[in-house]
Amino acid sequence: MIAGNWKMNKTVKETKDFITKLKKHALPKNKDILICPPFTALSKASGLIKGSNIQLGAQNMHYEVAGAFTGEISPLMLKELGCKYVILGHSERRHIFNEDDSLINRKIKAALNLKLKPILCIGETLDQRKKNKTEGIVKSQLLNSLKDIKDISNIILAYEPVWAIGTGINAAPEQAEEIHKMIRTLIKKTYSPKAANDIRILYGGSVKPENIKELMKEQDIDGALVGGASLDTDKFFKLIN
Ligand code: 13P
């Protein structure tokens, strides 16, 4: 899977231009191609991707289906717009908007209830890595975010080391692989060998056309969650290929 997280970028018009241009390329059928535009562009994007193999995801949601939550967007609303996926627990949500594992856990359960596939993001900060806390942080984020969830077959994981996001400094392929392997082992122990084998673990953090090939060669890296480089159609197409 190659997923583009547009973050707070692109107007409706820019979204239209991006998708129109991307659809002119011959997109491979053997890959899941996903774009996650901002909420305001989802409706337009949903119409434009019809008939292509581009799939649609959102970047966040509330855990309730409806109610008095000013400014929030519900999973039901995303579903209606044709979203199949929703990014949850992104480090920007965790750090800028103070989301914690228990809130993310509620959101994952709500997404699964409505048959939206959560892309759960986990990852350590530079300070935590320097203090040798990477494994502990990733494990606790993972297990706490998945608390009481028995079936993870519709969940996708994304390991995104915070120090690699938007910095231009990606994790070295072997550095990322070490954590991906650890995550898969943890899934095997907590769930089952089948769950560990089936789950997709994406890598995110300064993925570019120049470094994606080396990252994707690693055994436990099953795709990429891309920010900056996913905003440009030509770069995104290169990443997909
Ligand atoms: P960049 O690719 O811009 O580093 O962002 C990664 C990311 O946060 C994807 O969710």
Please state, for a pLDDT cut of 70, what percent of the chain lies above it: 100
Query: pLDDT tens digits for 77-102?
Result: 999 999 999 999 999 999 999 999 99
CA dist 88 and 158 (Å) reads 10
- DSSP E strands in the chain: the ranges are 2-5, 33-36, 54-58, 85-88, 117-122, 156-159, 200-204, 224-226
CA dist 30 and 33 (Å) reads 9
Tokens, residue 4: 């583009």
CA dist 229 and 239 (Å) reads 8
Residue 50 has a pLDDT of 96
CB distance 160 to ligand 1 below 6 Å: yes
180 is catalytic: no
Query: pLDDT tens digits for 222-236?
Result: 999 999 999 999 999
Label residue 238 by pLDDT band (50, 70, 90). very high
Structural domain range at position 19: 2-240
Residue 212 has a pLDDT of 98
Quick one: average pLDDT of 151-160?
98
Residue 215 has a pLDDT of 98
90 is catalytic: yes
**Model pTM score:** 0.98
Report the greatest alpha carbon distance in the chain: 49
Quick one: average pLDDT of 137-149?
98
Residue 105 has a pLDDT of 98
Here the CATH number for the domain that contains residue 14 is 3.20.20.70
Gap from CA of 235 to ligand 1 centroid (Å): 14
Tokens, residue 163: 């120090």
**What rounded mean pLDDT belongs to the chain?**
97
The total of structural domains in the chain comes to 1
Rounded to a whole number, what is the distance in angstroms from the first to the last CA of the chain? 11
Tokens, residue 158: 């994304």
Query: pLDDT tens digits for 28-83?
Result: 999 999 999 999 999 999 999 999 999 999 999 999 999 999 999 999 999 999 99
Label residue 194 by pLDDT band (50, 70, 90). very high
Spot the catalytic one: 62, 90, 124, 177.
Answer: 90
Closest atom of ligand 1 to CA, residue 208: 2
